[in-house]
Amino acid sequence: MVHKRLEELDSLRGMAAITVLLNHYFNVIPAFSAEESNGLVSLLKYTPLHFIWSGHEAVIMFFILSGFVLSLPFLRNTTVNYPRFFFKRVCRIYLPYVVAVLVAILLFSTFSRNGISDLSEWFNIAWTDPFSWQSVINYLIMLGDFKNFQYNPVIWSLIHEMRISLIFPFIMYVVLRLKWRKSAVLSLLLAFCSYVGLKLSEIYLGYVNYGSSIFDSFYYTTMFVIGVLLAQHLQKIIAFFKTYQKWNPLLLATALMCYTYPWWFFPHIKLLHIRLINEWFTVIGVVIIIVLALSSSNLSKFLKLPICTFFGKISYSLYLWHAVILLTCVNMWYGTMPLGFILVIASLLSILISTLSYYLIEEPSIKLGKMAFRAKN
């Protein structure tokens, strides 16, 4: 049982947030977002080196880490009151989210150029639709499946975080009463049924999925369950891995290959890369990475370096703000200075603003959740 805060996991979250930032910044450049690439771009894109700028894969890591961390009070046999649990999640996730959304809408209204044809398709899916109050309401209430990339392209995952938080105590109730094999099988079955339901609705109902459907929420719930199972059996898993420490370099290489499977394993053969296959190879990679982070002394020491723990601390704010800052900087300065220079400035501003956001918005929101929790005890 885990009884202390695991700095390694915070740092992993920070490293993942950096790769999401790099993913979005690279994807502004048409050569990186195009299907066909060559030279250095191909090496970075279609080999396990893709882990340097893995975006979607990093979000899967976020989901598994969230399941892991949220399960700890339940696994310690601590009495968890549902309203208090959910209020703390609202303070932790939703309050900083609302601030970032409102600022993004203001910046969009001020600086949007309605797309820049020289840049990638990915860049031009955001900040190009006209403003509408309905879109603002959709962002704020997080319901339905809407164009969640309109103002801030990263918020789709936070929609799932909040929805899954609603049912997380129920998830724990089920997992704690089942053996791990049954929990794992039910998790995979839920993922499969959610995937099939989404596909059938697209084919027969003409449903357009923007990535925030209720099917997606149930699908990603399974990744929270994987995090729960990992936390529940962590000591046994770590003990097993420690007996084979000499294999750690090979295990890390295997983890990175699984993590980046969608990009290097015959990427143009579509049958090998349906969503279920791609993402569950990534899940395997994430699980190995987490276990190595906690069982390998060398990796643990690296993740406890001040620079790693710093990015772990600001990881949520960095995730929230980097795309908004990117869109603002490019819309403001593209055509007046080199794109590479703009991306460097945007990266530095992202770190600066994320640090301010952590201390001025995130930390007070966390304290508010804890104060309310104590006040009701």
Q: What local confidence, expressed as pLDDT, does residue 1 receive?
A: 54
**36: left (phi > 0), else alpha (psi -120 to 50), else beta?**
beta
Q: What local confidence, expressed as pLDDT, does residue 56 receive?
A: 95
CA distances from 369 to 33, 85, 373 (A): 40, 9, 6
φ, ψ of residue 338 to 5 degrees: the values are -60, 145
Q: What local confidence, expressed as pLDDT, does residue 4 receive?
A: 62
Q: What local confidence, expressed as pLDDT, does residue 377 receive?
A: 46
Q: Is the pTM of this model over 0.75?
A: yes
Give yes or no for a contact between 248 and 163, defined as CB atoms under 8 angstroms apart: no
Q: What local confidence, expressed as pLDDT, does residue 35 receive?
A: 74
Q: Which residues of the chain have pLDDT under 70?
A: 1-5, 78, 372-377
Q: What local confidence, expressed as pLDDT, does residue 99 receive?
A: 96
Give yes or no for a contact between 334 and 49, defined as CB atoms under 8 angstroms apart: no
Q: What local confidence, expressed as pLDDT, does residue 208 receive?
A: 76
The token pair at 223 is 């990744």
For the packed helices 156-175 and 180-205, what is the interaxial angle rounded to 10 degrees?
140
